[in-house]
Structure 1
Amino acid sequence: MPTDTDIFESLRQELRRGSLILAVLGSLRAEHYGYTLRKALAEAGVEIEEGALYPMLRRLEAQGLLTSQWREEAKRNKRFYRLSDQGRSVLALLTTEWRALGGAVDDILKGEG
């Protein structure tokens, strides 16, 4: 039988998955390459492993939400990511949904819902 810790970790991962996507999209309103994006997220209190970030970036780009461009910086080729027009539109919709859902969940947890 799973322990409370096992159950918590599984549910925590589910909770984080959608939240990380929203945080990445929000951060990519400004251009970043992987390392600076990961650093900006960490500074905001959102930790993400490289092994999760790069596949997510590729998936979001394949969905049309991001654009990317290879450029040389400091004598190294780096792939820079930014929201596409569709990404900005989807981010606005997700932000509205996040705020509505978050407010409702907060009310429920406070015992007001």
Structure 2
Amino acid sequence: MGEEKDLMTNLVSELRRGTLILSVLSQLGEAKYGYALVQSLEEKGVEIDPNTLYPLLRRLEKQGLLSSQWDVGESKPRKYYTRTPMGDAIFRELKAQWERLSANMEQILKEGEA
């Protein structure tokens, strides 16, 4: 039973990994700092480890999908991220792709139950 549980954990992790970029981009239409982004995603049922999030944010910024700005006005400096115009366009396209994929998967899964 332990092997089956480990396998299931790994498969769920792989399935979730493919949704993280879209999940992160969806939340950055307005500027957010990392911890607020983690909280926002978790409130919506998307768990993301900060050790996964921060490298992802840096990669998306390097790819030109996000921009960042430091806010040093409070006691603790925070780096805020937001989508760039290119990030907006990519987000819209990924969202459309997701909607098509999701509809297709829903149909496939219904057929698999019959």
TM-score after normalising by structure 1:
0.91
How many angstroms apart in 2 are the aligned matches of 1:73 and 1:28? Answer: 21
More off after superposition, 67-76 vs 35-44: 67-76
Structure 1: stretches of 5+ with no match in the other structure: none
Shift of 1:16: 0.8
How many angstroms apart in 2 are the aligned matches of 1:42 and 1:25? Answer: 15
Q: SS at the partner of 1:68? A: strand
Q: SS at the partner of 1:74? A: coil
Correspondence list, 1:69-80, <5 A: 69-80=69-80
Match for residue 92 of structure 1?
Answer: 92
RMSD over aligned Cα atoms: 1.4
Q: CA separation of 1:42/1:73 partners in 2, compared to 1, >3 Å: closer, same or farther? A: farther
Percent of residue pairs identical: 41
TM-score after normalising by structure 2:
0.91
Match for residue 23 of structure 2?
Answer: 23
Match for residue 39 of structure 2?
Answer: 39
Structure 2: stretches of 5+ with no match in the other structure: none
Give the ranges of 4+ consecutive aligned residues of structure 1 lying more than 6 Å apart after TM superposition.
none
How many angstroms apart in 1 are the aligned matches of 2:31 and 2:18? Answer: 21
Q: SS at the partner of 2:41? A: helix
How many angstroms apart in 2 are the aligned matches of 1:50 and 1:73? Answer: 23
Give a deviation string over 1:43-67, Cα, whole Å, max 9, x none: 1111111111111101111111100
Shift of 1:12: 1.3
Shift of 1:73: 4.1
Shift of 1:4: 2.0
Q: CA separation of 1:38/1:73 partners in 2, compared to 1, >3 Å: closer, same or farther? A: farther
Aligned length: 111
Give a deviation string over 1:19-70, Cα, whole Å, max 9, x none: 1111100000111000111111111111111111111101111111100001
